[in-house]
Amino acid sequence: MFWENSMEKLRVIIIDDEMLIRKLIRMKMDLEGLNLELVGEYQDGADAVEALDSVRPDIIISDICMPEVDGLSFSEKCIELFPDIKIIILTGYDDFDYARRGIKAGIFDYLMKPVRADELNATLKKAADEILKLRLQKAKQKKLLEEMERNIPALRDIYINRILLQERAEDDIEKELDKYGVKVNTGKDRGIKVGIIAIKESVSQLGLTEQIMEEAKSFYQSDDDIIVLRDHWNRIVAVTDSMDVPFEECMDILISIIQKKFHCHVSTGISEGYPGWNSIHSAYADALDDMKKKHGTRAGDAGTKETEFYGLWGELTESVKNGSVEESLEMVERIFSAPEPSFPEQQKKVMICCQKMYADLEVNQQKVLFDKMLKWCCTMDQLKRCVDNILSELLIRRKLECSCRNSDLVVRIIKYMLENIRNEKLSLNLLAREFSISTSYLSRLLKQFTGRSYGEILSDIRFMRMIELMNTTRMKDCDIGGQIGINDAHYLSIWFKKISGYSVTEYRKNMNISPL
Widest distance between CA atoms in the chain? 95
The domain at 166-295 falls in which architecture? 2-Layer Sandwich (3.30)
- Please state the domain extents for the chain: 3-137, 166-295, 311-510
Beta strands in 132-288 (DSSP E): 190-199, 226-230, 236-242, 266-270
The count of other CB atoms within 10 Å of the CB of residue 436 is 6
Residue 28 burial (10 A CB sphere; 0-12, 13-18, 19+)? middle
Predicted confidence at residue 101, as pLDDT, reads 64
Cα–Cα distance for residue pair 114/120, rounded to 1 Å? 10
Closest to 13 (Cα-Cα) out of 107, 111, 88, 83: 88
Query: Are residues 468 and 372 in contact, defined by beta-carbon separation less than 8 angstroms?
Result: yes
- Decide whether 3-137 matches 166-295 in CATH topology: no
Predicted confidence at residue 4, as pLDDT, reads 42
- The structure's pTM equals 0.44
Cα–Cα distance for residue pair 62/88, rounded to 1 Å? 6
Predicted confidence at residue 279, as pLDDT, reads 92
Residue 414 burial (10 A CB sphere; 0-12, 13-18, 19+)? buried
Predicted confidence at residue 40, as pLDDT, reads 94
Predicted confidence at residue 5, as pLDDT, reads 44
Closest to 59 (Cα-Cα) out of 79, 43, 73, 76: 79
Residues of the chain where predicted confidence (pLDDT) is lower than 70: 1-7, 67-70, 93-105, 201-206, 296-308, 339-341, 403, 514-516
Strand 59-63 relative to strand 36-42: parallel, antiparallel, unpaired?
A: unpaired
Closest to 349 (Cα-Cα) out of 301, 383, 304: 383
Predicted confidence at residue 3, as pLDDT, reads 37
Q: What is the CATH number of domain 311-510?
A: 1.10.10.60
DSSP annotation of 115: P
Predicted confidence at residue 2, as pLDDT, reads 38
Predicted confidence at residue 103, as pLDDT, reads 66
Cα–Cα distance for residue pair 413/394, rounded to 1 Å? 16
Predicted confidence at residue 188, as pLDDT, reads 84
Predicted confidence at residue 199, as pLDDT, reads 83
Predicted confidence at residue 206, as pLDDT, reads 54
Predicted confidence at residue 93, as pLDDT, reads 64
Q: What does the radius of gyration of the chain's CA atoms come to, in whole angstroms?
A: 33
CATH class in words for 3-137: alpha beta
Cα–Cα distance for residue pair 371/354, rounded to 1 Å? 8
Residues 6+ apart with CB under 8 A from 264: 199, 200, 201, 205, 208, 212, 258
Residues 6+ apart with CB under 8 A from 256: none
Read off the pLDDT of residues 425-446 as tens digits, 9 standing for 90 and up: 999 999 999 999 999 999 999 9
The count of other CB atoms within 10 Å of the CB of residue 308 is 12
| DSSP H stretches of helix in 106-199 | 117-165, 173-179
Predicted confidence at residue 382, as pLDDT, reads 86
Read off the pLDDT of residues 281-322 as tens digits, 9 standing for 90 and up: 999 999 999 998 887 654 444 455 666 677 788 788 888 888
